[in-house]
Structure 1
Amino acid sequence: MSAALQAVKHFRVRELAPILKADPKVANARPKILNPFLPHKNPESGRWAPPKYSLRRQADLVKSARAAGLLHLLPPGPKLSPKEIESASASAPAPVTETSGEAKWWAAPVQWDGEYKEKEVKGADVGNRLYAGRKRMFKGHKWERTLEKRTWKRKMLMKDMEERIERFKSTYRRKTPSPVSPARAVSYSKLPF
């Protein structure tokens, strides 16, 4: 058995075993189990409890289920949309019996309690979710913010760079005394004395 199949089986056994132990008759029917990928509200205290599985663990389970072709066995959540589950269940193979001849009780259909609402994100269809609908970029690094202005300034300076180099070289040559001519006091400073 592959590691991906084992991970999905382990998840399903962990979630289904307590319900099936409590009431074995439920195995024939479609049991209703609290969705471990979603937060739920405690009816007694009225407080919200976090999901049983973290987003990282959910992502790992989804990856392994995709690899094993058992995506339809996982509940919907932030890492797996109901649309993906529907398409996976349509293309899923018929249930196969294990080597011992028993049916895979852990692969039986389950009704997951809890509704996952997908959020409509602007720009998701284009692939730009982060800056969709924003006027400008987030703060970023200073070099990123000043990059456009610096490149513009650099272009402007490079336009007439050849002339500037020529001008510099000619004025520098004029200021430097000739080694052949007699030495005279030349002031290179801009001060009047």
Structure 2
Amino acid sequence: MSAALQAVKQFRIRELAPLLKADPKLSTARPKVLNPFLPHKNPESGRWAPPKYSLRRQAELIKSARASGLLHLLPPGPKLAPKTIEDASTSAQTSAEATEQAKWWTAAIEWDGEFKEKEVKGADVGNRLYAGKKRMFKGHKWERMADKRTWKRDMLMKHMSKRIARFKTVRGLGGALRLWRVLTGDCVL
């Protein structure tokens, strides 16, 4: 048995064993089990309890389930959307896994707790971080000034060849004029 299949099997046994030990008749029915991927509210104290499995552990279980083709056996949660589970369950029913379906730990379960997916603006176009915002983050000053400096540099470089030619002629005339003044005696070196 592969490690991925073993991880999913251990997860299912860990979650179902206490329920089946308490009432063996539930093995034929579709039992309702508390979703370990979601936080739940304690009915006695009214306080919220965190999920039994962390997000990192959920991601590891999902990777294992994908590798072994048992994604439909996991409950929905933040790392696994209900739509993905539905797609996986339809593909699992069409595949030839009749031997695995006969085992008790692969039985259908109704997970208690509702997972609500958050709609993120801009996720459909690939811009989740800055969706709905007027501008991007503040950034460094050189990042904010880059466009202005680029525009100024382009304007200065536009007629640079004419400016260089004019500079050389004026400087050349200035040097010749100074030499003329020295030769005529108007200026002393």
Give the shorter-chain TM-score range: 0.7 to 0.9
> Residues 55 and 79 of structure 1 are in contact (CA less than 8 Å); yes or no, is this contact kept in structure 2?
yes
Q: Tell me if the contact between 1:96 and 1:104 (Cα under 8 Å) persists in the aligned partners.
A: no
User: Which runs of structure 2 are paired with 1:58-77 in the superposition (5 Å)?
Assistant: 58-77=58-77
> Aligned letter for 1:137?
M
Contact kept in structure 2, 1:34 and 1:114, CA below 8 Å:
yes
Aligned residue in 2 for 1:108:
107
Aligned residue in 1 for 2:4: 4
Q: Work out whether residues 39 and 48 of structure 1, in 8 Å CA contact, stay in contact via their aligned partners in 2.
A: yes
2:153 is the alignment partner of 1:151: no
Which consecutive aligned stretches of 4+ in structure 1 deviate over 4 angstroms post-superposition? 167-177, 180-186
Q: CA distance change for structure 1 residues 170 and 36 in 2, over 3 Å: closer, same or farther?
A: farther
Q: Gapped runs of 5+ residues in structure 2? A: none
**Aligned pairs (5 A) from 1:1-150:** 1-92=1-92, 93=95, 95-97=97-99, 103-150=102-149
- Superposed CA deviations along residues 3-53 of structure 1, whole A, max 9, x for unmatched, are 222222222122112222222222221121111111111111111111112
Please give the TM-score of this superposition, normalised by the length of structure 2. 0.81
Mark the CA change 1:154 to 1:29 in structure 2 (over 3 Å): closer, same or farther.
same
Amino acid of the residue matched to residue 58 of structure 1?
A: Q
What is the CA–CA distance in structure 2 between the aligned matches of 1:154 and 1:120, rounded to whole Å? 43
Give CA deviations for 1:79-128 in whole Å, capped at 9, x if unaligned.
11111111111111354326xxx932211111100001112222222222
Q: From the two aligned structures, give the one with the greater helix fraction.
A: 2
Q: Matched residues in 1 for 2:171 and 2:59: separation?
A: 68
How far apart, in 2, do the equivalents of 1:110 and 1:30 lie?
5
The 3-state SS of whatever aligns with 2:102 is coil
One-letter identity of the residue aligned with 2:99: T
Distance change >3 Å, CA 31–CA 95, structure 1 → 2? farther
- Label 1:79 to 1:160 Cα distance change in 2 as closer, same or farther (>3 A): same
RMSD: 2.7
Contact 1:33 1:112 in 2 (8 A): yes
Aligned residues: 182
Question: Which residue in 2 is equivalent to 1:190?
Answer: none
Letter in 1 for 2:55: L
Residues 154-187 of structure 1, C-alpha deviations (whole Å, 9 max, x = no match): 222221222333344455556669xx9989766x
